[in-house]
């Protein structure tokens, strides 16, 4: 007896391919309806002033950051809050969360994605700044080296990497402890 489940010329591969396409299109469509599109990072190489401390971002070394909030923050700006350092990024974010604001996404300089340098500046070592939009990555996917001998705009920096091996190599050269984005706390920032 012949199985007549597929009265048309529909093969298993075509069925699965069509199902996968339908699921993908449905997911994309649903994401758009729910407003869950995550805004992209922007370049911070203009004359932007840090929303935490007021310093001109492009005039300082080290990792920079930007955070999009679900509300109208910073008030009147169509875009993210921007920061001269990873420390300012986290401090501002913690302050806003204390006020009941919700973070949509935080971007930090990804030192796995750029050709960075560590240079002497006075008695200190500083890591170069990278402010193009493609130098930033979602902080959720980064590991950070905290408490190394390398500084950024606000002194000792949290140096972010998307590749854990890069973070380990950096820590082997310059010291520091490797932490995830989720492990960054006010207490950690105060101790760095």
Q: Residue 100 sits in which domain range?
A: 57-191
Do the Cβ atoms of 161 and 143 come closer than 8 Å? yes
φ, ψ for residue 92 (rounded to 5)?
-65, -45
Label residue 147 left, alpha or beta by phi (over 0 means left) and psi (-120 to 50 means alpha): left
Q: Which two tokens stand for residue 165?
A: 């091996």
Decide if 132 is inside a domain: yes
pTM more than 0.85: no
In this structure, the number of other CB atoms found within 10 A of the CB of residue 180 comes to 13
In this structure, the number of other CB atoms found within 10 A of the CB of residue 21 comes to 10
Decide if 81 is inside a domain: yes
Decide if 22 is inside a domain: no
Decide if 159 is inside a domain: yes
pLDDT below 70 — which residues of the chain?
Answer: 1-36
Query: Closest by alpha carbon to 144, among 155, 159, 157, 129?
Result: 159
Half-sphere exposure for 91 (CA within 13 Å, toward CB) = 17
- What total number of domains does the chain contain? 1
Strands 81-83, 65-69: pairing is antiparallel
pLDDT at 36: 62
Decide if 27 is inside a domain: no
Q: Where are the alpha helices (DSSP H) in the chain?
A: 12-34, 86-98, 164-174, 186-191
pLDDT at 22: 40
To the nearest 10°, report the CA torsion of 169, 171, 174, 180.
Answer: 130
């Amino acid at each position: 007896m012949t199985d007549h489940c597929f009265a048309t010329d529909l093969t298993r591969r075509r069925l699965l391919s069509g199902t996968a396409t339908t699921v993908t299109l449905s997911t994309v469509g649903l994401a758009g309806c729910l407003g869950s599109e995550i805004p992209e990072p922007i370049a911070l190489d203009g004359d932007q002033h840090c929303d935490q401390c007021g310093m001109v971002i492009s005039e300082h070394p080290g990792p920079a950051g930007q955070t999009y909030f679900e509300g109208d923050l910073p008030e009147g700006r169509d875009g993210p809050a921007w920061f001269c350092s990873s420390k300012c990024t986290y401090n501002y974010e913690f302050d806003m969360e204390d006020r009941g604001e919700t973070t949509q996404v935080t971007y930090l300089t990804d030192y796995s994605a750029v050709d960075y340098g560590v240079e002497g500046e006075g008695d200190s070592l500083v890591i170069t700044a990278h402010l193009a939009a493609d130098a930033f990555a979602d902080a959720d996917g980064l590991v950070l080296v905290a408490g190394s001998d390398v500084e950024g705009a606000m002194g000792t920096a949290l140096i972010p990497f998307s590749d854990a091996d890069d973070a380990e190599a950096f820590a082997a050269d310059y010291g520091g402890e490797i932490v995830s984005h989720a492990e960054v706390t006010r207490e950690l920032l105060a101790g760095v």
